[in-house]
Amino acid sequence: MSPQDLAPVDILRVGNILGECILWDWRRDALWWTDIQAKKLHRYDWAHRSLRVMDTPERVASFGFVLGSTQLIAAFESGVALYGADDQSVSWLARPEARAPGERFNDGRVDRHGRFWTGTMLEGGHRAAHGRLYSVGIGGELRCHVSGIRISNGLCQSPDGRRLYFADSPLRRISVYELNALDGTLGPPRLFAETPEGAYPDGAAVDADGCVWSAHWGGGCIVRYTPDGKIDRRLRVPTRQPSCVCFGGPDLELLCVTSAREGLEDSVLSAEPHAGDVFLYRTGIKGLPESEYRS
């Protein structure tokens, strides 16, 4: 069987509106993800095969784990906070006042040096370039690194933490930046990869070999790129809107994929009954542990 015809070993039938930011919690053997539009955070207990769905006070677009804490660092729609998922406690770190109407936070991830990176986008069908890419450092310092973005997506880092990958989805472009570990600054962007017409780069993750796995929203597939940007393999998924990926399971050998049913017509949903579900694949490739935010 070719990689593109690989079947899921399991499907978590959750029917998310907009499943996103899936992460493996190696400390608790749990798989986390958010349904942005439903204002729900999901935690799947691996040992007991049980799912807990938690309400959130605002839409959570992305999040990361915090060193020495059970809290999350979360990019809510209006800002970034330390968040206790069990008791819904929110300690705001930054809420930018200069956001444009309809601008909300979107994709995010903790880098290998303990910083949280997250970007914004404009909702309401607009594709104006008002989005920005931020980092949140120790103590909650918010720094803007890039502006003029349409939809921030695809944040992930190379295994050594020296390269930051980032996608502006409507442009169908994945860029790579050199990341200065000491001061957290970015070098100039270089084109890493371009996606085909109708396929938009969404959430992404880097494996132990340094290859980038990118969910192609609208393209119905996950694409693995080598570190030099060449396509290594393409994995078809059972819906046209895969949204994010991570490596999970106790051995980090399962590719976990969220998806969305947002914007799909009834006829499409009938043909794609697993739209919005989470897919688990055994690809023969191992991932890396998620980094933790250093508060």
Residues with catalytic roles: 202
- Residues 54-65: b if buried by 16+ CB within 10 A, e if exposed: eebebbbbbbbb
Q: How far apart are CA 215 and CA 208, in angstroms?
A: 18
Question: For 120, phi and psi rounded to 5 degrees?
Answer: -115, 170
Report DSSP state, residue 150. S
Question: Hey, what amino acid is at 137?
Answer: G
Tokens representing 219 are 């393209």
Contacts 24+ apart (CB under 8 A), 95-100: 96/134, 96/142, 100/128, 100/130
Question: Hey, what amino acid is at 288?
Answer: L
